[in-house]
Amino acid sequence: MRIAVLAIALLSIVNAAAEPVSYTIDPAHTHPAFEADHLDGVSVWRGLFKHTTGTITLDRQAQTGTVDVDIDVASVDFGNDALSEVAAHSSAPPVFEATKYPVANFRGTLGNFRHGAPTIVTGQLMLHGVTRPVTLNINSFKCIAEHPSIKRPTCGADAVARIDRSDFGITVGKRYGFRMAVTLRVQVEAFETEAALSPTPPEGR
């Protein structure tokens, strides 16, 4: 009888470990950035978005997971207040038009796991009211058992992709020869959600 009870307990632990784990993106440590051409190679403009929210799920046994990220477009920052204001709100010529399109969203699937960590994210980016497929290559991915400050399991990653901004209707500078290719660099940290840390006890207990 004791052996049977022990076997059931061990099976429960294995099943719990095999379930996907949910993580909440930490806005204080997640700032998607981008690099865009200025004057056909004269210089590179760089900016980032200061406010990002979302969730990540990770199933190490199944070697899969999901990403769902919302970016506050009006939080764009070029390090120049006037330029940031124009980029966020100008509608002639169109840049981000945050009033009309306040949120950019990326939903994707983690894949191509190596040594227990994903190396790509394939999904759909919705930006400026347009949705297009985008694949990010993950340069690094690491999880730790406990974050020293928030005392929760935490995962972090650094990913990169290239897109054509004209595919999303952002064509400012195109007639002057600006290159439309943009490099996206996404660094993200996410902590395990409280629901995952405190599972509902079995019925009757």
Tell me the pLDDT tens digit for each residue of 10-35.
443 344 446 899 999 999 999 999 99
Which pLDDT band holds residue 67 (cuts at 50, 70, 90)?
A: very high
Q: Which helix (H) or strand (E) holds 132?
A: strand 130-144
Question: Which among 50, 53, 45 is positioned nearest to 76, based on CA atoms?
Answer: 50
CA distance 23 to 192: 4
Looking at residue 194, what is its pLDDT?
Answer: 80
| Per-residue model confidence as pLDDT tens digits over 116-163 | 999 999 999 999 999 999 999 999 999 999 999 989 999 999 999 999
Q: What is the pLDDT of residue 8?
A: 41
Mean pLDDT of the chain: 88
Q: What is the spatial distance between Cα 87 and Cα 73, in angstroms, rounded to a whole number?
A: 9
**Domains of the chain with CATH codes:** 20-195 (2.40.128.110)
Q: Mention every residue, 6+ apart, whose C-beta is less than 8 A from residue 75.
A: 49, 50, 51
The first and second tokens of residue 92, run together, are 């002639």
Q: What is the pTM of this model?
A: 0.84
User: Given pLDDT bands bounded at 50, 70 and 90, which one contains residue 7?
Assistant: very low
Query: Helix or strand or coil: residue 87?
Result: helix
